[in-house]
Amino acid sequence: MARMWEDGVLTVKTTEREALAASDPETFFWTPHHERSPALVLVRLDRVDPSELEELLDESHRIAGAVRGA
């Protein structure tokens, strides 16, 4: 569902990766390591609004569940 990438940075799955990074690249980004996984985005926890993080975690959980159930 989500994984710590480094201290203070969480990896989540989302269908909105491009839009999130375009709207706030200081909060949402990815590294070359994540290029092959277009659903993954890194989130700086000290910059993200808690309600937005909650939505991202819910979405990531749904996406991860859909992959496992397939």
Model pLDDT for residues 5-60, shown as the tens digit of each residue: 999 999 999 999 999 999 999 999 999 998 889 899 999 999 999 999 999 999 99
Residue 11 contacts residue 42 (beta carbons within 8 Å)? yes
Measure the CA–CA gap between 2 and 53, rounded to whole angstroms. 11
What integer pLDDT is reported at residue 68 of this predicted model? 54
- Strand, helix or coil for residue 21: helix
Domain boundaries, the chain: 2-69
pLDDT band at 66 (very low <50, low <70, confident <90, very high): low
